[in-house]
Structure 1
């Protein structure tokens, strides 16, 4: 079980390291699938562990730390893209309707009596 978990972790790391913007959606789907498969295996892993399994587990933990940092980077990129899209949308709306943000609540007071 630990060997299968390690192999899935290594595969997940390879997918994350090879990720480009153009293929991000396809890669995200495969990342989700790999994470789900890892979760199923992780539930089945039970002690006691042999020395070889413990060493493999340590190597897997190192890979998992790399995966965590790459996932955080991907999250930041996605958030940045969302902010950029929202800015473009807001800018486009201002261009299409430039008078939308003007206040029409003003009042005129005549001081003559």
Structure 2
């Protein structure tokens, strides 16, 4: 039954996303990508008409999927914050290694004499 397999993959995806180990983030992202690809393959196979049991599984899966979406958004925000922090450190490091590369606006004045 494709809906049951889809629900199981969604539950597994949720479990992977709930893991809090940042040291293994690359592995986690790889596993999440793999599970999403598997779910996409199953999703195309799910076709009506649905039995009562399949409808219940579908509702439960929708609830799980909302949690997955929320955790994916949080993961994306965390990655974006890390990228911004790395870029900020790069800019700061570049200013220290070559301070004359970009002109500074410090010490500028305008002569207002007419």
What is the TM-score with the length of structure 1 in the denominator? Answer: 0.88
The separation in 2 between residues aligned to 1:41 and 1:19, in whole angstroms, is: 27
Stretches of structure 1 lacking an aligned partner (at least 5 in a row): 104-113
In structure 2, the residue matched to 1:10 is 11
In structure 2, the residue matched to 1:44 is 45
- The list of structure 1 runs, each at least 4 consecutive aligned residues, that deviate by more than 3 angstroms after superposition, is none
In structure 1, the residue matched to 2:59 is 58
Stretches of structure 2 lacking an aligned partner (at least 5 in a row): 105-114
**Alpha carbons 1:6, 1:56 under 8 Å: kept:** yes
In structure 2, the residue matched to 1:78 is 79
- After superposition, the CA RMSD in angstroms is 0.9
The separation in 2 between residues aligned to 1:12 and 1:19, in whole angstroms, is: 14
For residues 59-99 of structure 1, the C-alpha deviation after alignment (integer angstroms, 9 at most, x for no partner) is 00000000000000000000000000000000000010011
The separation in 2 between residues aligned to 1:21 and 1:81, in whole angstroms, is: 12
SS of the residue 1:29 aligns to:
helix
- Corresponding pairs, count: 103
